[in-house]
Amino acid sequence: MKLCMIGTGYVGLVSGVCFSDLGNEVICVDKDQDKINNLKQGIIPIYEPGLEELVLKNYKNKRLKFSTNLSNSIKKSDIVFICVGTPTKKNSTGADLSQIFSVAKEISKSINKFKIIITKSTVPVTTGDEIEKILSKKVNKNKFSVASNPEFLREGEAIRDFIYPDRVVIGSNDKKSATKLRNLYSPLISKGAKFISTNRRAAELIKYASNAFLATKITFINEIANLCEKAQIDVEDISIGIGLDKRIGSRFLRAGPAYGGSCFPKDTKAIVNTADKFKINLSVIKSVINSNSLRSKLLLKKVNEILNKKIRNKNICFLGVTFKANTDDMRDSSSLEMIPFLSKKGAQIKYYDPTGFKKEFSNLKNVNFANSIGEAVKGSDLVILHTEWNDFKSINFKKLHSSKNLKIYDMRNIYSPLKIKSQGFKYFGIGR
Ligand SMILES: NC(=O)c1ccc[n+]([C@@H]2O[C@H](COP(=O)([O-])OP(=O)(O)OC[C@H]3O[C@@H](n4cnc5c(N)ncnc54)[C@H](O)[C@@H]3O)[C@@H](O)[C@H]2O)c1
């Protein structure tokens, strides 16, 4: 099939490349000329394991193309996926759909034959209806069908998640298009992915309800961790103890910093905003958002206690600053609240992240990027393990740090407290 992906970011690039690897002809379009030029030269704009090899392979065999020409790319395609950003609006909690609607207007000018237009971006309930209205202003209704196909891939695991999804959700009010889309996904369905065909609004809501539920699970265990810490219980035992119940499940029950990233913070706010418009009070999700917004402050309070309320001039090392491992995405990472706070309080901060220097910290006083784990840890009073990269799991702190006064705040509970203590260092974890 001939596909056009509009927006070549985490979702558009990964799904476009994977569709081309499944034998489709794919054009990935972006308005960012530099991004497209780089991709044509094999330079990948994001850190995502396995992506580079797959891009090079499919670009070489010409199933995958890159372009900034939206109109031509749409004209050449049968199925058009909208994969642009839907961030939180400025001065509101709702999703900013300006990129979606501007793309819909562009599409309406380029429909030369029947096309299925799909939102792969995460969009609030009724957005498909709005897109349909925009298209109808310029094009006869029998020339297009608007569907929803939410994407569930996780950054860092994106290719595997795309190829082996738990489920493929298609929301379409038109049976013919739903069948075409089922055919597009048939290589994944035959490998075991469940296929869910529903109406367009339901598909839009499935995505938000999934993200809100996962954010709730994380927030739930983070609050249980707060109790564990006071009651001298290891939250890891609680996660195992409740996670083994099949009704609950063990995933997303790891206590740690506030949830962040490009999806959960904006999507929890957007679903509440949508429900408010329908005059429905999503009180559970509201309190999840509130609890998560207090989480970084709570952990910073603990940092203050660990340093005996003397942050000024203390050398603090951050291992990992991205919101999770295996991605370079800094959007809504809790380090964006923690590092500026500590820098303002007069700490000297060094950070190391396997995905390199971060421009987000470049204007902060006394915050420097270290080129290696060793350089970051050296001379520190406190090491904060912020992101759970494999690179950090077997660090021998004894080799890297001479002083016994080193304190380690393990915000992901990846180290054995006993082992760290036996090396003579002070250990602090989350909920333990
Ligand atoms: N990142 C994830 O893990 C993830 C997972 C599932 C769903 N989503 C959803 O997918 C959507 C995209 O997310 P993302 O992280 O890939 O965003 P992104 O910011 O990485 O990429 C969006 C791209 O769209 C491009 N763009 C914007 N307007 C355009 C236009 N008019 N024409 C062509 N290109 C245009 C931008 O230049 C950018 O490269 C969002 O709605 C998000 O919520 C993201």
Q: Which of 5, 10, 167 to mutate to test the pocket of ligand 1 (most atoms within 8 A of CB)?
A: 10
For residue 403, pLDDT over 90 is answered with no
At residue 401, the pLDDT reads 86
Dump pLDDT digits (tens) for 322-341: 999 999 999 999 999 999 99
- Give φ, ψ of 428 to 5 degrees: -135, 135
Tell whether 306 and 164 lie within a shared domain.
Answer: no
Task: Check which CATH number belongs to the domain holding 312 and give it.
Answer: 3.40.50.720
Active site residue 263: yes
Q: What kind and span of H or E run contains 201?
A: helix 200-231
Question: Which is catalytic among the residues 28, 83, 228, 263?
Answer: 263
Domain count, the chain: 2
| Cβ(397)–Cβ(408) below 8 Å | yes
Dump pLDDT digits (tens) for 57-87: 999 999 999 999 999 999 999 999 999 999 9
Q: Give the type of residue at 313.
A: N
Q: Which of 44, 80, 84 to mutate to test the pocket of ligand 1 (most atoms within 8 A of CB)?
A: 84
What order of strands is seen across the sheet that includes strand 2-6?
64-67, 25-29, 2-6, 79-82, 115-119, 144-148, 167-172, 194-198
- Which ligand 1 atom sits closest to the C-alpha of 12? 16
Dump pLDDT digits (tens) for 185-226: 999 999 999 999 999 999 999 999 999 999 999 999 999 999
Alpha helices in 244-282 (DSSP H): 264-277
Report the mean per-residue pLDDT for the chain: 97
Tell whether 320 and 417 lie within a shared domain.
Answer: yes
Dump pLDDT digits (tens) for 341-353: 999 999 999 999 9
Dump pLDDT digits (tens) for 291-304: 999 999 999 999 99
Distance of alpha carbon 217 from alpha carbon 184, whole angstroms = 33
Tell whether 47 and 152 lie within a shared domain.
Answer: yes
Tell whether 185 and 225 lie within a shared domain.
Answer: no
Domain boundary among 198, 229, 261: 198
Q: pLDDT over 90 for what percent of the chain?
A: 99
Dump pLDDT digits (tens) for 131-155: 999 999 999 999 999 999 999 999 9
At residue 323, the pLDDT reads 97
At residue 127, the pLDDT reads 98
Distance of alpha carbon 325 from alpha carbon 320, whole angstroms = 8
For residue 416, pLDDT over 90 is answered with yes
At residue 341, the pLDDT reads 98
Q: How far is the CA of 307 from the centre of ligand 1 (A)?
A: 40
Band of residue 404 on the pLDDT scale cut at 50, 70, 90: confident
Distance of alpha carbon 428 from alpha carbon 420, whole angstroms = 10
Tell whether 43 and 71 lie within a shared domain.
Answer: yes
Q: What kind and span of H or E run contains 428?
A: strand 426-428
Supply the range of the domain harboring residue 8. Answer: 2-198
Q: How far is the CA of 104 from the centre of ligand 1 (A)?
A: 15
Nearest CA to ligand 1 atom 39: 9
At residue 402, the pLDDT reads 80
Distance of alpha carbon 135 from alpha carbon 122, whole angstroms = 19
- Which ligand 1 atom sits closest to the C-alpha of 103? 31
Q: How far is the CA of 396 from the centre of ligand 1 (A)?
A: 39
